[in-house]
């Protein structure tokens, strides 16, 4: 609860959290919040500007832009969160196994991680889309494939630190089962690290996924997605520039909220960090270099 109190004290963090929660709730209950059916075509309202009925106006098929933004939360944010959750889950399980048991398990897991990480994220995504065909699910599969390795490696480092602690050694020596040790002693302490690294990658993941939809490789019509809405708006950018606005700002708002939140989360977990913000993220980058060294040694 101390964590929550710290978080509450941080006003920007609170605002971000509210934005995130509101976005998620609105996304989940989109049918309740959306004033219209997002796929309802009405050609007589093609490119209509905003009105009381259609607060943000209508798009090239006369569909309600506000409703599309609201429904767009699902693929643009919620599905990304699901993909992130899955990759964190896989990463956490393997990271725990590797970091706790070390030895052969560690070597194998890390070897697989290294291989996955030698494909740059975008390249892997293009490869998967190229073979399985365009579509949001394939983009998300690609991201899960890439990200879990990255999470596994960081979580492993974090687990290794704690596994060396005296009380864990003591627990081991007194014959408590490994499962119990992991569950009782390791998960709680490493949880904050996991929360921070996963929250810090949401922003960039949302941006990347929307980028693929923007290129036409992500979600397919008629589903609403912010990147795709921007792509549609781009086609009429000089005749109807206002269409670029709503989806663009929606992305910026949500991504900034996640970034600020992740920032606030770090500070809340470790108030010492307040002097040099984002230290963890920077350390992560630096530790990535060190890790790189290590895996090369492992080979």
Partner 1 sequence: MKKRKMFVFLTMLMYLFVLVGCSDGNDAKTVSTNNKKKTELVYASAKDINDMNPHLYGGSMPAQGMVYESLVENTEDGIKPLLAESWEISKDGKVYTFHLREDVKFHDGEPFNAEAVKKNIEAVQNNAEKHSWIKLSTKIESVNIVDAYTVELVLSEAYYPTLVELSMTRPYVFLSPKDFKNGGTKDGVNGFNGTGPYILTKHKTDEYATFKANENYWGGSPEIKKITSKVLPAGETTFLALQKGEVNFVFTDDRGADSLDVEAMNQLVDSGDYQLVRSEPMNTKMIVANSSKSDNPVSETAVREAIWHSIDRETISKDILNGTETVANTLFSPNVNYADVDLKKRGYDLEEAKEILEESGWAAKDGSDVRTKDGKKLAMKLYYDSNSSSQKTQAEFIQASVKEIGIQLEIIGEESTSIANRRSTGDYDLLFNQTWGLAYDPQSTISAFTSEASYLHTTSGIANSDELYKKIDEVMVSPDEKTRKSLYADILTIVHDEAVFIPISNGSVTVVAPKNLKGISFKQTQFELPFELMNFE
Partner 2 sequence: MGSYIIKRLFISIPLLLVISFLTFILINLSPLDPVEVVLQAQGVPTITDELIAQTKDELGMDKPFIIRYFDWVIACLQLDFGVSYVTGKPVWSLIGPAFLNTLKLTLVSSVVIIVLSILLGVICAMKEGEIMDKSVRGFSFFLTAMPSYWMATLMIWYFSVKVDLLPTSGMESYKSYILPVIVIAISYAGIYFRVVRSSMLSNLNEDYVLYGRACGLTERKVTMHILRNSLQVAISIFCMAIPIILGSTVVIENVFAWPGLGSLSVRAILGRDFPIIQAYVLILAVAFVLFNTISDIINAVMNPKLRNEI
Confirm if 191 and 198 have CB atoms less than 8 A apart. Answer: no
Alpha carbons 115 and 140: distance in angstroms, whole number? 19
Confirm if 168 and 224 have CB atoms less than 8 A apart. Answer: no
Q: Which does 46 bind (CB under 5 to 8 A by kind): partner 2, partner 1, none?
A: partner 1
Q: Which does 288 bind (CB under 5 to 8 A by kind): partner 1, partner 2, none?
A: partner 2
- Using the rule CB under 8 A, which residue among 114, 193, 225, 232 binds partner 2? 114
- Using the rule CB under 8 A, which residue among 19, 26, 39, 195 binds partner 1? 39
Q: Which does 130 bind (CB under 5 to 8 A by kind): partner 2, partner 1, none?
A: partner 2
Q: Is residue 62 near partner 2 by the rule CB under 8 A?
A: no
Confirm if 269 and 25 have CB atoms less than 8 A apart. Answer: no
Interaction mask 129-148, partner 2, x per CB under 8 A? xxx--x--------------
Cβ at position 216, least distance to partner 1 in Å: 6
Structure token pair of residue 152: 């596994």
In the window 170-209, what residues touch partner 1 (CB under 8 A)? none
- Using the rule CB under 8 A, which residue among 22, 107, 237, 286 binds partner 1? 237
Q: Is residue 40 near partner 1 by the rule CB under 8 A?
A: yes
Instruction: Kindly write down the DSSP assignment for every residue of 221-277, as one continuous string.
Output: TTS--HHHHHHHHHHTTTT-GGGGHHHHHHHHHHHHHHHHHHHHHHHHH-GGGGGST
Q: Is residue 165 near partner 1 by the rule CB under 8 A?
A: no
Per CB under 8 A, the segment of 19-27, 30-38, 119-127, 187-195 that binds partner 2 is: 119-127
Residue 133 is classified by DSSP as -
Instruction: Kindly write down the DSSP assignment for every residue of 58-89, as one continuous string.
Output: B-TTS-BHHHHHHHHHIIIIIHHHHHHHHHHH
Could you tell me if residue 216 is left (phi over 0), alpha (psi between -120 and 50 degrees) or otherwise beta?
Answer: left
In the window 216-255, what residues touch partner 2 (CB under 8 A)? 216-217, 227, 230, 234, 237-238, 241, 244, 248, 251-252, 255
Distances (CA, A) of 263 to 33, 203, 225: 30, 12, 26
Q: Is residue 242 near partner 1 by the rule CB under 8 A?
A: yes
- Using the rule CB under 8 A, which residue among 120, 221, 290, 294 binds partner 1? 221
Q: Which does 289 bind (CB under 5 to 8 A by kind): partner 2, partner 1, none?
A: partner 2
Identify which of residues 106 and 190 has a Cβ nearer to partner 2 in the complex. Answer: 106
Cβ at position 289, least distance to partner 2 in Å: 5
Cβ at position 1, least distance to partner 1 in Å: 22
Cβ at position 266, least distance to partner 1 in Å: 14
What is the maximum alpha-carbon separation in the chain? 76
Distances (CA, A) of 244 to 61, 94, 146, 205, 227: 16, 42, 30, 21, 10
Q: Which does 43 bind (CB under 5 to 8 A by kind): partner 2, partner 1, none?
A: partner 1
**Which residues have C-beta within 8 Å of that of residue 57, sequence separation ≥ 6?**
47, 48, 49, 50, 51, 65, 242, 243
Chain positions contacting partner 1, by CB under 8 A: 10-12, 39-41, 43-44, 46, 60-61, 133-134, 216, 220-222, 234-239, 241-242, 244-245, 248-249, 252, 256, 260
């Amino acid at each position: 609860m101390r964590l929550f109190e710290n978080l509450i004290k941080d006003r920007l963090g609170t605002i971000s959290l509210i934005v995130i929660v509101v976005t998620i709730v609105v996304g989940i209950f989109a049918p309740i919040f959306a004033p219209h059916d997002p796929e309802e075509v009405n050609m007589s309202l093609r490119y209509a500007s905003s009105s009381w009925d259609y607060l943000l106006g209508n798009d090239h098929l006369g569909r309600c832009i506000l409703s599309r933004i609201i429904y767009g939360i699902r693929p643009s944010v919620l599905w990304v969160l699901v993909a992130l959750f899955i990759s964190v889950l896989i990463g956490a399980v393997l990271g725990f196994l590797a970091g706790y048991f070390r030895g052969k398990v560690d070597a194998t897991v890390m070897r697989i991680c290294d291989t996955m990480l030698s494909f740059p994220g975008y390249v892997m995504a293009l490869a998967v889309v190229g073979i399985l065909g365009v579509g949001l699910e394939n983009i998300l599969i690609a991201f899960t494939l890439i990200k879990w390795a990255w999470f596994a490696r960081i979580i492993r480092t974090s687990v290794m630190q704690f596994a060396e602690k005296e009380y864990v050694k003591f627990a081991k020596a007194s014959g408590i089962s490994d499962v119990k040790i992991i569950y009782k002693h390791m998960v709680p302490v490493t949880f904050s690290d996991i929360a921070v690294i996963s929250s810090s990658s949401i922003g960039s993941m949302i941006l990347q996924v929307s980028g693929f939809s923007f290129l036409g490789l992500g979600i397919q019509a008629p589903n609403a997605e912010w990147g795709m809405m921007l792509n549609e708006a781009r086609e009429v950018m000089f005749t109807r520039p206002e269409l670029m606005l709503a989806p663009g700002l929606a992305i910026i708002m949500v991504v900034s909220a996640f970034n600020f939140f992740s920032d606030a989360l770090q500070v809340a977990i470790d108030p010492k960090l307040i002097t040099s913000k984002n230290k963890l993220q920077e350390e992560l980058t630096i530790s990535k270099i060190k890790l790189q060294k290590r895996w090369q040694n492992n080979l």
